[in-house]
Amino acid sequence: MIKDKLNTFLDKVEKPARYVGGELNSTEKTDAQVRFALCFPDVYEIGMSHLGSRILYNVLNSREDTICERAYAPWPDMEKQMRENGVPAYSLENFRPLKKFDIVGFSLLYEMCYTNILTMLELADIPLRADQRGEDIPLVVCGGPCACNPEPIAPFIDLFMIGDGEELIGELVDVYKECKVKGVSRKETLLAMAEIKGVYVPAFYSPVYDDTGAFVSMDKIESHAPDMIERRVVKDLDAAQFLGKPIVPYLSIVHDRVAIELFRGCTRGCRFCQAGFIYRPVRERKRETLLKQADEILSCTGYDEVSLFSLSSGDYSEIHQLVPEIINSYRDKRVSISLPSLRIDAFLKEDMEQMQSVRKAGLTFAPEAGTQRLRDVINKGVTEEDLLRNMKDAFESGWTGVKLYFMLGLPTETDEDLLGIADLARKVSAVYYSVPKEKRGKGLRITVSVSSFVPKPFTPFQWAPQNTKEEIIRKQHLLKDALRGLRGVEYAYHAPDVSVLEAVMARGDRRIADVIENAYRKGARFDSWDEHFKLEIWDEAFAEAKVDPAYYANRDRSLDEALPWEHVDMLVTKDYLKREYHNALEETCTRDCRKGCNGCFGGKCADYCKI
């Protein structure tokens, strides 16, 4: 029925291949005891590029008792056609309505996708609020990095999975299947799931506010629910399930290549970086495992590029052995390698030369700040000399294009720090022209990409204020003027409105849910896309909910203030985060974990960390 209706209007929408399924390596199951819809609240090209979703797809479909099918947020033109033609949200594999699944799960990668969750739920005829769902409605679950502060969307979600999904999701399915066989109620099923370590059921907790409206505590209203929800961790990443045979899309996606996860976590401790704290400790895959995975995926997909993916790929302990092995193994097939997240202090000259010998697939570095003072504040642990050395190595190896990522509005930032970005770009340009013409490539292109700082939960900067919108605009223009006229330098930045809203969502409490629903009802969709973001809608939504966004985004929070996400235990202790915040204000660096334990897990270090 759905497929027949699609045939009547798919020619009216952009990129129909987003909605038809049937891709190489997609699951061929038609049904199972447990039906799991794996949903991504953004467009197909982005969702298909998400490594975590691909891993869970393989994990779930490797079970005989489970069928996992995919669904992505429809682009506004497709949403319009679906509503006009009575087509519900459906899965790509079997065109099954999402309402016919047992569990509808969303990956939470970015706060600005929250309204898309509501779009998909409403298109599926699933009530938006969890307390409005009856016994015949699928459980709505969420996981991913944004789940570490679940409160802004808690009223819409039945349960959150906190931590590594492949460690937790099997137990979730087991408990659900047992409850389904017994025929127990929705509440009894949620009670049973709440006993799983890492599962948070918002309905079993209630936020408390004082007379001023300040958050005071999260009170447990169901005695069997845990006091704290502790993050789940895959301790042996090398033995964990990976991609299997990944789906090959019909159309180009954002990361259209083989993605190999070298390791999970980070030892560096950049104080703005949420991923660097919530994915601790570092767990590596063996080089032999990675080579096997690369071989298996290349053989069943036809890709010609391997992306060595991690928070900091250059920190992989055997990176200098792995890169040439992959290149030499597939040189005849012209398979290239990309390292999407390089530390500027990583010594990679020989690797870069070998990578360039096949095909230059992109080079990106993240100095983050323009002066050494500010890099010390954020604990970046790298120097200008590190960057310039790597730039010279890259230019001598034939690269002519490089992306440099920076942040604007970091705690304690001054105009001098900001202008340091322009000074650094000028020096990188000078390095290129210092390389003899016969050794360098033609056409220098340096992209200076500057994003606005967003304070995130479970980082040392979770207490710090974000710059106001007006201050962000002033700083953007100051830097733009400073970069004007630099040879080969391009400047990329975004309007500040989305960054401000992201900060509200990141540090919000349950009162933000009313704002999100208000905005959705007014037409908010794809808020991370410039062409669809509508500031006036959000301004109206905040006003109607009587919520001041500055209270969440721009306020300097006390270290003793109760935080809406503190019932979630991401393992790194609050005392450690406080200590790191003090170190930041004192411009003191903290050593890399590989050089000695800093005690970030408190008394649990020995249980998790094997460095």
Name which residue leads in pLDDT, 174 or 609.
Answer: 174
pLDDT of 213 higher than 80:
yes
Report d(CA 309, CA 307) in Å as an integer.
6
pLDDT of 179 higher than 70:
yes
pLDDT of 158 higher than 80:
yes
Measured between alpha carbons, how far is residue 69 from residues 77, 108, 144 in Å?
Answer: 23, 17, 18
pLDDT score at 398: 83
Kindly list the structural domains of the chain, giving each domain's residue range(s) and its CATH number in brackets, ordered by start. 2-230 (3.40.50.280), 257-494 (3.20.20.70)
Asked if residue 287 lies in contact with residue 321, where contact means CB atoms within 8 angstroms, the answer is yes
Half-sphere exposure of 351 (CA within 13 A, CB side): 22
Provide the terminal-to-terminal Cα distance of the chain, rounded to the nearest Å: 55
pLDDT digits (tens, 9 = 90+) for 454-484: 999 999 999 999 999 999 999 999 999 999 9
pLDDT score at 335: 87
What does pTM read for this prediction? 0.95
pLDDT digits (tens, 9 = 90+) for 329-385: 888 888 888 877 665 555 556 665 565 554 555 578 889 999 999 999 999 988 999
Measured between alpha carbons, how far is residue 234 from residues 200, 251, 264, 453 in Å?
Answer: 18, 33, 9, 30
Asked if residue 197 lies in contact with residue 178, where contact means CB atoms within 8 angstroms, the answer is no
Q: List the single range of 51-55, 225-229, 294-298, 338-342 with lowest mean pLDDT.
A: 338-342
Kindly give the interhelix angle for 469-483 and 496-506, rounded to the nearest 10 degrees: 140
- Which residue type, as a one-letter code, is found at position 431? V
- Residue located via tokens 């003090």: 582
The fraction of the chain above a pLDDT of 90, given in percent, is 82
Instruction: Quote the mean pLDDT of the chain.
Output: 93
Report d(CA 178, CA 182) in Å as an integer.
6
pLDDT score at 167: 95
pLDDT of 410 higher than 80:
yes
Kind plus residue range of the DSSP H or E element containing 515? helix 512-521
Q: Minimal CA–CA distance to 335: which of 260, 442, 253? A: 260
Q: List the single range of 25-29, 287-291, 440-444, 458-462 with lowest mean pLDDT.
A: 440-444
DSSP letters for 141-204: EEESGGGGS-GGGGGG-SEEE-B-HHHHHHHHHHHHHHHHHHT--HHHHHHHHHTSTTEE-GGG
Q: CA 177, 183, 189: angle at the middle one, nearest 5?
A: 60
pLDDT score at 352: 58
Half-sphere exposure of 592 (CA within 13 A, CB side): 15
pLDDT score at 363: 76
State how beta strands 283-284 and 263-264 pair.
Answer: antiparallel
pLDDT of 604 higher than 90:
no
pLDDT of 68 higher than 90:
yes
Question: Following CA atoms 246, 249, 253, 256 in sequence, which dihedral angle do they give, to the nearest 10 degrees?
Answer: 50
Measured between alpha carbons, how far is residue 302 from residues 247, 249, 340 in Å?
Answer: 11, 11, 21
Q: Note if the bond before 281 is cis, omega within 30 degrees.
A: yes
pLDDT of 609 higher than 80:
no
Report d(CA 320, CA 350) in Å as an integer.
8
pLDDT of 393 higher than 70:
yes
298 SS3 class:
helix
Report d(CA 66, CA 59) in Å as an integer.
10
> What phi and psi, each to the nearest 5 degrees, are found at residue 346?
-80, 135
DSSP letters for 54-114: HHHHHHHHTSTTEEEEEEEPPPHHHHHHHHHHTPPPB-TTT--BGGGSSEEEEE---GGGH
Name which residue leads in pLDDT, 28 or 547.
Answer: 547
Q: CA 348, 443, 369: angle at the middle one, nearest 5?
A: 55
Average pLDDT (427-454) is 93
Structure confidence at residue 441 as a pLDDT band (50, 70, 90): confident
Name which residue leads in pLDDT, 310 or 192.
Answer: 192
pLDDT score at 350: 60
Q: How many other CB atoms sit within 10 Å of the CB of residue 390?
A: 26
